[in-house]
């Protein structure tokens, strides 16, 4: 009963917190030139709120880049996070490119006890992706390490890793970050899609469904009484 009550409270928070978000931000760097693209800024080629796209060069060697980060409120919520980073990057010479996508303002709750990181793509160099949570709720914060997938060598690749995350007490704020690193030894292209999704506590989804149904029934009865 105590667990169900906690889940009911979490469900109520989910219904109430759908509009809470900060400003998702992309960051691309070749080690010499760094470009920051905040959602809705002049460099953001995507008009959707919660989706950030950069199209252009980074430094001298990374001549063609189309990178998009997606999170709340376009997909996911503050209590049930979703992060997606996908990109196509072409170089005219040797070098490394780091692409990060981060968002603050996620809310710790009893329905989520960890995160799963998935990635797939192709590379003509090497590729690695990492994911982090940060209990200080800092943009690009890395106090909590989640997954580290790769480095993958030339060719197609895919991987997945699931980790438990202590994001603090219920209601505490934290941030999430995806960090991709591409290295080419010359001219080449890498494309990838990385996702960070929540892992529910075992048995949570069944109880959450019951909790949401209970809230709906309670709301209907209350409306009937008021009528």
Query: Rounded distance, CA 164 to CA 147, Å?
Result: 10
Of the chain, the percentage scoring pLDDT greater than 70 comes to 79
Query: Rounded distance, CA 65 to CA 68, Å?
Result: 10
Q: In what order do the strands lie in the sheet with 95-107?
A: 34-38, 25-29, 95-107, 173-184, 126-134, 144-152
Q: What is the CATH number of domain 20-201?
A: 2.60.120
* Average pLDDT over every residue of 175-181: 98
- What is the pLDDT, as a whole number, of residue 15? 43
- What is the pLDDT, as a whole number, of residue 22? 82
CA distances (Å), origin 47, targets 43, 65, 73: 11, 18, 13
- What is the pLDDT, as a whole number, of residue 6? 46
CB 132 within 8 A of CB 62: no
- What is the pLDDT, as a whole number, of residue 201? 67
pLDDT at 128 over 60: yes
Other C-beta atoms lying within 10 Å of the C-beta of residue 147: 22
Tell me the per-residue pLDDT of 3-36, one tens digit each, with 9 for 90 and over: 444 444 444 444 444 444 589 999 999 999 999 9
Q: Which residues pair with 116 in a beta bridge?
A: 162, 197
Query: Rounded distance, CA 154 to CA 168, Å?
Result: 39
pLDDT at 146 over 70: yes
- What is the pLDDT, as a whole number, of residue 191? 98
- What is the pLDDT, as a whole number, of residue 224? 54
pLDDT at 60 over 80: yes
Distance from chain centroid for Cα 197:
7
* Average pLDDT over every residue of 154-170: 96
Distance from chain centroid for Cα 176:
6
Predicted TM-score (pTM) of the model is: 0.82
* Average pLDDT over every residue of 148-159: 98
């Amino acid at each position: 009963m105590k667990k169900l009550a906690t889940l009911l409270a979490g469900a109520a928070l989910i219904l109430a917190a759908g509009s809470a978000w900060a400003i998702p931000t992309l960051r691309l760097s070749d080690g010499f030139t760094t470009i920051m693209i905040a959602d809705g800024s002049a460099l953001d080629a995507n008009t959707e709120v919660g989706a950030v796209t950069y199209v252009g060069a980074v430094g001298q060697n990374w001549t063609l880049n189309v990178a998009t980060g997606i999170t709340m409120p376009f997909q996911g919520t503050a209590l049930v996070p979703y992060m997606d980073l996908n990109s196509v990057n072409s170089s005219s010479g040797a070098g490394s490119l780091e692409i990060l996508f981060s968002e603050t303002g996620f809310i710790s709750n009893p329905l989520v006890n960890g995160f799963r990181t998935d990635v797939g793509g192709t590379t003509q160099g090497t590729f690695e992706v990492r994911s982090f949570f940060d209990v200080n709720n800092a943009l690009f914060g890395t106090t909590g390490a989640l997954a580290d997938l790769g480095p993958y060598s030339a060719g197609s690749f895919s991987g997945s890793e699931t980790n438990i995350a202590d994001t603090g007490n219920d209601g505490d704020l934290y941030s999430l970050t995806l960090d991709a690193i591409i290295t080419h030894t010359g001219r080449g292209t890498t494309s990838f899609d990385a996702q960070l999704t929540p892992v529910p506590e075992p048995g949570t989804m069944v109880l959450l469904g019951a909790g949401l149904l209970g809230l709906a029934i309670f709301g209907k009865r209350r409306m009937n009484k008021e009528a």
